[in-house]
Structure 1
Amino acid sequence: MPNKPATTPDESVAKKSILIVEDDTDIGEFIVHAFQQETPYHAFLAEDAFKALDVIKKSKPGMFLLDYQLPGMDGLELYNLLHTTEGLEDTPVLFMSANFSEKELDRLRLPYIEKPFELDDLLKEVDNILNR
């Protein structure tokens, strides 16, 4: 009888990638590391909206985690561009920021988490969004 290769628990969960757009590199790298260590998701970081747009030319993420306040183009403007990009129209998003327009995000029915947030709350919220 042939030996069956060992499997890891992650193989039973479809891996999804998350593009994190965060201009504070320390926060961004912390979040990426947390996703790599604590979840089955692959996370990668873009420090601004323009780098995020470059990333999606090469890879289509399964979710966007967007800082609301970004230099040059805010997270909402980036969201609008991403969701008019072929193949990304239905890609889920979660906004994060210490200063944003709750009224605007509520009007658009976009999910958000306020900074500072508990890491467990962020991970749970992303998991909930990706498993809807």
Structure 2
Amino acid sequence: MRELERVLLVEDDADIAELARIGIEGIGELIFTHYASGADALAHIEQDEPDLIVLDYRMPGMNGIEVLAELRTLRGCRDTPVVFMTASVMPQHVARLLGLGAAAVIEKPFDPITLADRLQAIWREQA
């Protein structure tokens, strides 16, 4: 099985994005790419070739569900695992995101120290 190497984060909050970068790149030693909007991510995603995509659920412009729908139309991203990050983790909300094809849902706030390990575990489950 191929190892997780590249993680792309789509997150509009700069502070949350920085905490994720520390956890994914700094602690997890993975290649980290960040976009502050779904539109920016979609414009660059095919050149970034992420192994795993982490989407904020609530963003201005396109929300995470809309970004996920667009990702699934792109040949290179149809099977890329997507993880949602959200503060809204009521069981019915999580079930909806999983039903739309998300590999997992991570609750905000998250622990940057364990974030890369969580993403690695999700990656292994998808293999």
TM-score, normalization by structure 1: 0.80
Gaps of 5+ in 1: 1-12
- Counterpart mapping for 1:1-132 below 5 A: 14=3, 16-99=5-88, 101-108=93-100, 110=102, 111-131=104-124, 132=127
C-alpha distance in 2, partners of 1:21/1:74?
Answer: 10
Query: Which structure has more RCO (C-alpha within 8 Å, separation ≥ 6)?
Result: 2
User: Please, which runs of 5 or more residues in structure 2 have no aligned partner?
Assistant: none
Q: Contact between 2:55 and 2:82, CA under 8 Å: does it hold in 1?
A: yes
Q: CA deviation at 1:109?
A: 5.1
- 1:121 deviation in Å? 4.1
- Relative to its length, the structure with more helix (as a share) is 2
The corresponding residue for 1:9 is none
**Cα root mean square deviation, aligned:** 2.0
Alpha-carbon distance in structure 2 between the residues aligned to 1:126 and 1:46: 18
> How has the CA–CA distance of structure 1 residues 15 and 104 changed in structure 2, closer, same or farther, with 3 Å as cutoff?
closer
Q: Give the deviation of 1:129 after TM superposition.
A: 2.0
Rounded to whole Å, the distance in 1 between the matches of 2:53 and 2:37 is: 13
Contact between 1:32 and 1:43, CA under 8 Å: does it hold in 2?
A: yes
CA distance in 2, matches of 1:27, 1:118: 11
Report the Cα offset of residue 44 of structure 1: 1.1
Q: Any idea what the Cα deviations from partners look like across 1:78-120, whole Å, max 9, x if unmatched?
A: 0111122011111011100113622411433521011112224
Matched positions, count: 120
Quote the Cα distance in structure 2 between the aligned partners of 1:124 and 1:29: 17
TM-score calculated relative to the size of structure 2: 0.82
